[in-house]
Amino acid sequence: MSKQSPVDQNPTAPLPAGSTGSMPGPGVVPLFAPPPADRPRRRYAVAGTGHRAGMYVDALTGEHADVGELVAWLDPNPGRIDYYDAQVGRALGGDAPAGLPRYTPADLERMISEQAVDTVIVTSVDRTHAELVDRSLRAGADVVVEKPLTTDAAGCRRITRAVADTGRDVVMTFNYRYAPRNSTLRQVIADGAIGEVTSVHFEWVLDTMHGADYFRRWHREKSNSGGLLVHKASHHFDLVNWWIDDVPVRVYASGALRFYGDANAAARGMGPRPERGTGVTGDPFSLDLRDDPRLEALYLQAEHHDGYRRDQDPFAPGITIEDNMSVLVDYSRGATLTYSLNAHSPWEGYRVSVNGTLGRAELRVVERGHVDFHGDHLLDPSATPEQATEDLVRPDGHRLVVQKHWRRAEEVPIPEGIGGHGGGDAILLKDVFRRDLRLGPDPLARAAGYLDGVRAVAVGVAANESLLTGQPVLVEDLELGVPLAGDRTGTGAPGDRPAEV
C-alpha cells in the first residue's frame, strides 16, 4: 500500500502547474509591517479539529507564530485533539504533546474566559458554525470562520444579530479570492476592460476522485452541510459576487442526486457495495484511510470516540445532497449568472465566461485532466504534484483571455501564487493573522467579512429553497438579517455592521 501525504480533507481546488512555486509574482502578496516588539501575541483557540484545522495550526506554529499563539482546543472528539496537540508539541521543539487545555463545545464560554481567548477559529462541521460564531462573539472573542458562514437563513440571522449586538469582528476565509488566476480576473473586470458586466457563465466540475469524497463524509447529509450548493458552491458564488461587485436578488435552481447513492448504483447494476473503503482494494470509489497518515490518525484511529466514519461508501443509502446542480441568479444591477456544478466528471476544473458591454473575458482552469486510478487515492494533486500524471490532451493549467469587440483575443498573464488552493492559501493567512499590519489598502479587496459570507450563502440557501418549491426565490424573502447591498469593501471591519434586527 503506497503512502500519499498529505491528503486534504476538503480539497477545494487542486493546484495547476504555475501556482505551486515559492516565489510569487509581483504584486500578488500584500506588504505588511513587522509587529511591534512589545505587542503581545493574539491568543487563538481552534473549534473543530478535523483536517482543515491543520492549515491554521501550521500557520500559528510557523510563519505567524510571532503574532499569534494557540492556547486551547475545542472538539467533542479527544482523539483528533490528541493529533494536533502532539503536532504543536513537536513544533515547540519538544518530544511530548503541548498539553494545551481542551474543551467540549458545551464549554465554549468557559474556554474563552479561562484562557483569555482573543479569537476563535471555527473549522467545525458546517451546521455548527452559526452557534459557535454567535456564542464566541457574545463571550467576548472575535471569530475566524471557514466557509460556509452557515448553512441556512436562520444561521445567517443568528450571526448578523450577534455581530450587531456585540460589535465584534468576524473574518471569512474565502481563500479562493487570493488565487492569482481569480484575482487577475477581478482586476480585468474592475479596470473596465470588458465594460459593464451583463452576464456570467460559471461551470465547475469535480472529478470522480474529489467529487466522490463529498459523498463519503458528513457532507452527504444536507442537514450537516446545506448540500454542495452551500458547502462547495459558496466559494464560487462569493467569487462571482466579488468579481462583478454586486449582490444577488433572485435565484432559480434545478438539481438532483443522479450518480451517487444506492438507487443510482442499483439502476446501473453496480452490485453489492462495501460499507466503507478502508480495507477495500481495486475499487475506484473506495477510500482507504490507511493510505494517508493524517487521515488515519484524525479519523480511523479516532472513530471509536464518536463513531464517525470518514470513508463511507458514496453509493450507500442515506445521501440527501445533490450531485448535479444548475442555478440561475439575477443580480441587482442587471447581470445574470448561469452556474452549474457536477460532482462526477472525468476531469476537474472550471470555466468562467464574463460578458460585458465592451467585450468578453474567459478563464479556463484544468486542475486535473483525468483520474488515473491504479489502486491509490490522490484526492488532491496539489498536495503531491509530482505524482500527478500529465494529460497531453487536457493538460493541467490555466488561461485568461480577454477579447474586445472587433479586436483579436489577447491572453492576460496570470502571476504565480504561493501555497495551496490555486496559490491563495498562504496569502489569505497573511491577511487573517496580520491584517492590522497591512501597509496600505488592497485594491482588489480580497479580505472578506461576515457580510461577504452572508452574500455567498444567500445564493445557496435560495437555491435549496428553489429545489424544494420549483419556483424562483427572492433573496430578500429569506430575511437573512442584513441588507446585502451594504458596504462592499469586504474588509470585515467594525464599520461593516448590520442594522439592528
Average pLDDT over residues 33-61: 96
Tens digits of residue pLDDT in 326-358: 999 999 999 999 999 999 999 999 999 999 999
Q: How high does pLDDT run on average in the chain?
A: 89
Separation of alpha carbons 216 and 262, rounded Å: 13
Separation of alpha carbons 134 and 166, rounded Å: 10
Distances (CA, A) of 389 to 11, 58, 311, 347, 368: 18, 28, 24, 12, 9
- Position 416 scores a pLDDT of 78
Separation of alpha carbons 397 and 417, rounded Å: 13
Instruction: Check the CA dihedral 241-245-250-252 and report its sign.
Output: negative
Average pLDDT over residues 22-34: 73
What's the distance, CA 350 to chain centroid? 15
Band of residue 405 on the pLDDT scale cut at 50, 70, 90: very high
- Position 388 scores a pLDDT of 53
Separation of alpha carbons 429 and 427, rounded Å: 5
Distances (CA, A) of 13 to 108, 324, 390: 32, 18, 17
Query: Contact at 8 Å (CB) between 260 and 318?
Result: no
Tens digits of residue pLDDT in 93-104: 989 999 999 999
- Position 422 scores a pLDDT of 56
Band of residue 371 on the pLDDT scale cut at 50, 70, 90: confident
Neighbours of 292 (CB within 10 A): 25
Band of residue 419 on the pLDDT scale cut at 50, 70, 90: low
pTM of the model: 0.91
Cis peptide before 6 (omega within 30 of 0): yes
- Position 26 scores a pLDDT of 56
What angle do the packed helices 53-60 and 78-91 form, to 10 degrees? 30
- Give the domains, in start order, of the chain with CATH numbers: 176-260+319-416+450-478 (3.30.360.10), 264-305 (no CATH)
- Position 19 scores a pLDDT of 41
- Position 14 scores a pLDDT of 46
- Position 18 scores a pLDDT of 41
Radius of gyration of the chain (CA): 22
Average pLDDT over residues 282-289: 93
- Position 5 scores a pLDDT of 35
Distances (CA, A) of 286 to 125, 262, 278, 311, 382: 22, 15, 7, 7, 20
> In a 10 Å sphere around its CB, with 0-12 CB exposed, 13-18 middle and 19+ buried, how is residue 499 labelled?
exposed
Q: Of the ranges 3-12, 23-32, 325-334, which is most confident? A: 325-334
- Position 383 scores a pLDDT of 40
Determine the number of helices (DSSP H) and then strands (DSSP E) in the chain: 15, 16
Range list of H helices, 277-418: 293-295, 303-306
Cell output for 27: 504584486
